[in-house]
Amino acid sequence: MDHLKGRVAVVTGASAGIGAATAIKLVKAGLTVVGIARRLQRLQDLKKMMEEKNFSGRFFTVACDLTNETDILNAFKWIDDNIGGIHFMINNAGIIRISKILDGLAEHWQELIDCNVMAPTICSREAYKLMKKHNVSHGHIIQINSITGHSYSINPGNKMYNASKQALRVLTEGLRHELAVAGDGHIKASVSLFTHVQWYTFIYYLDELVELTQAVIAIMEDMKTKLIRYSRYYSSISPGFVDTEIFDAAKMTHNKMKASDILSAEEMADMICFVMSTGPNILIAEMIVLSQGRCIQSYPRA
């Protein structure tokens, strides 16, 4: 992580769980982190702990209700005015609501959509705007999804939560598509559906073809330089069961599960740091993280 020192990361849901663990690791590694969450006191306590331990990075706190677009816009305006550009957007915040389709409350469904779908989408949009405005190279948006974004929940009350995470998976791929088509907003050769890694492979392959004229090679080299300079990445990390407060907030219990079935927030933070630390020509588009012995699709225990 040494090569990331001094870069700026925004982490939502930073007051607890995966978000707090990630913020700690990043500030300890020398990054500037903006922690966004509703519970300002929790964020301030986290900041105090980091200062007492003399971490080499910096931690800023922004109170924000991520289900309120105006709050989100104000948070990013604060970042723009006080920090400037950002290199990493880590959309971690999420909620669970147990609410059946047959007799559930529409307000609970709306909360799920607002927090799990709309919030990360709005944050991604605003982060991308700041990356463009400040000409940030190698910008990276990381989505913390869920294993239920790739499977179907066996719990009757989890269907809307399940749907919100499936929607997030589709939107993640959709944003990658838009980034490719738009050429990251800086690349003029915008009519391409290749991923960045495929572009590099394609360009290097063309460089080796002796039949190409020098003019064509020059054009492709110019495209390659712009791709490397203005890369924008979008990754999705989908964990299985993680020991965080999200279960308590939803009045769920996982104490019937074996300890080996549950990941820790620190283990997930390690995975996020791994994705962030990859080279500029590598994109981990999708990562599913499970504890040993778990399956992507849940099944009733025998």
What is the DSSP track for 27-84? Answer: HHTT-EEEEEES-HHHHHHHHHHHHHTT-SSEEEEEE--TT-HHHHHHHHHHHHHHT-
Of 104-118, 184-198, 227-241, which has the strongest mean pLDDT?
Answer: 104-118
- Residue 136 in contact with residue 85, Cβ under 8 Å? yes
Give residue 53's pLDDT band: very low, low, confident or very high (50, 70, 90): very high
One domain for residues 201 and 271: no
One domain for residues 263 and 149: yes
Q: Which amino acid is at 31?
A: L
pLDDT of residue 96: 87
The question of whether 161 is a catalytic residue gets the answer yes
One domain for residues 150 and 264: yes
Mean pLDDT in residue range 55-75:
97
Please give the mean pLDDT across all residues of the chain. 77
Give residue 60's pLDDT band: very low, low, confident or very high (50, 70, 90): very high
Residue with tokens 């007492």: 52
- Residue 220 in contact with residue 270, Cβ under 8 Å? no
For the stretch 167-211, pLDDT in tens is 998 998 888 888 888 776 332 111 222 223 333 333 333 344 334
- Residue 6 in contact with residue 31, Cβ under 8 Å? yes
pLDDT reading at 156 higher than 90:
no
pLDDT reading at 251 higher than 60:
no
pLDDT reading at 157 higher than 90:
no
Q: How far apart are the first and last CA of the chain?
A: 43
Residue 232 or residue 90, greater confidence: 90
One domain for residues 79 and 157: yes
Give residue 241's pLDDT band: very low, low, confident or very high (50, 70, 90): low
Q: What percent of the chain has pLDDT over 90?
A: 44
Task: Give the closest residue to 18 by CA, choosing from 241, 256, 280.
Answer: 241
The answer to whether the predicted template modeling score (pTM) of the entire model surpasses 0.85 is no
Residue 44 or residue 244, greater confidence: 44
Task: Give the closest residue to 230 by CA, choosing from 91, 133, 120.
Answer: 133
Q: What is the C-alpha to C-alpha distance for residues 91 and 10, in angstroms, rounded to an integer?
A: 8
One domain for residues 171 and 239: yes
One domain for residues 84 and 123: yes
Mean pLDDT in residue range 115-135:
94
Of 27-36, 131-140, 243-252, which has the strongest mean pLDDT?
Answer: 27-36
The number of folded domains in the chain is 2
pLDDT of residue 293: 62
The H or E element that residue 82 is part of is helix 69-82
Q: How far is CA 158 from CA 99, 111, 123, 161, in A?
A: 7, 13, 25, 5
The dihedral region occupied by 84, where left means phi > 0, alpha psi between -120 and 50, and beta the remainder, is left
Supply the CATH number for residue 241's domain.
3.40.50.720
One domain for residues 78 and 200: no
One domain for residues 83 and 213: no
- Residue 112 in contact with residue 59, Cβ under 8 Å? no
One domain for residues 100 and 158: yes
Residue 294 within a domain: no
One domain for residues 131 and 178: yes
One domain for residues 80 and 201: no
pLDDT of residue 299: 62
Contacts of 51 (CB under 8 A, 6+ apart): none
One domain for residues 73 and 161: yes
Please tell me what DSSP assigns to residue 141.
Answer: E
Domain range for 95 is 2-186+231-289
Among residues 128, 161, 230, 233, the one annotated as catalytic is: 161
Q: Considering only 120-129, 157-166, 187-196, which range has the smallest mean pLDDT?
A: 187-196
